[in-house]
Amino acid sequence: MEAIKGWALAVCVAAVAGSIAHLASPSGSTQKIYKITISLFFLCCILSPIITGALSGDFQIDSSMQPQTEYRTDSLQNTMEKQVEENFIASVKNITAEELNTIDVQPQEILINVNTNEESGIFITEIILSLDAKDQNKQAEIESRITQKLGQKPVMQFRQEVQAQDGTKSSDG
């Protein structure tokens, strides 16, 4: 940090010196030579830390930051992939629920299993529908519609609600 402060101070001093030299420069044919000289002086002041560091080999890349940066990059990429997968699953669930609603079927639960790979991206591996036993007569239509819409045959589980003695309802599945 001290090197940057020193460099900034040198640039400021060079700018002040260049401005004073510019004001004191004679007019006429020698003015161009003075302007070029002042510009080169200022440019050398700006580039001197870089040139001296490069020639002496003092520039060092902080390799201790590289693993931390790689970890953060990997973590960010994993988070993004997980969010994309979650959004994909939510979209497939919505499409499935809408398709079931068109035939008056209210699912108890929709589970979507997906797989992700580099070549083909995200794809559906399994659709599991938990449905009321009263919808069992619509099994063929449900299977046909979901397979046609999503390209994957659903696994259907039909559950019958059982009423306990205390009046609460529970599913037998």
**What CATH code would you report for 83-171?**
3.30.70
CA distance 152 to 134: 23
Mind listing the pLDDT tens digit for each residue in 22-64?
777 777 777 777 778 878 887 887 787 777 765 555 555 566 6
Strand partners, 128: 111, 155
pLDDT on residue 170: 59
Q: Which helix (H) or strand (E) holds 117?
A: strand 109-117
Is 124 a residue whose pLDDT tops 70? yes
Residue 172 CB contacts under 8 Å (≥ 6 apart), including other chains: 159, 160, 161, 162
CB 49 within 8 A of CB 3: yes
* DSSP helix/strand/coil, 165: coil
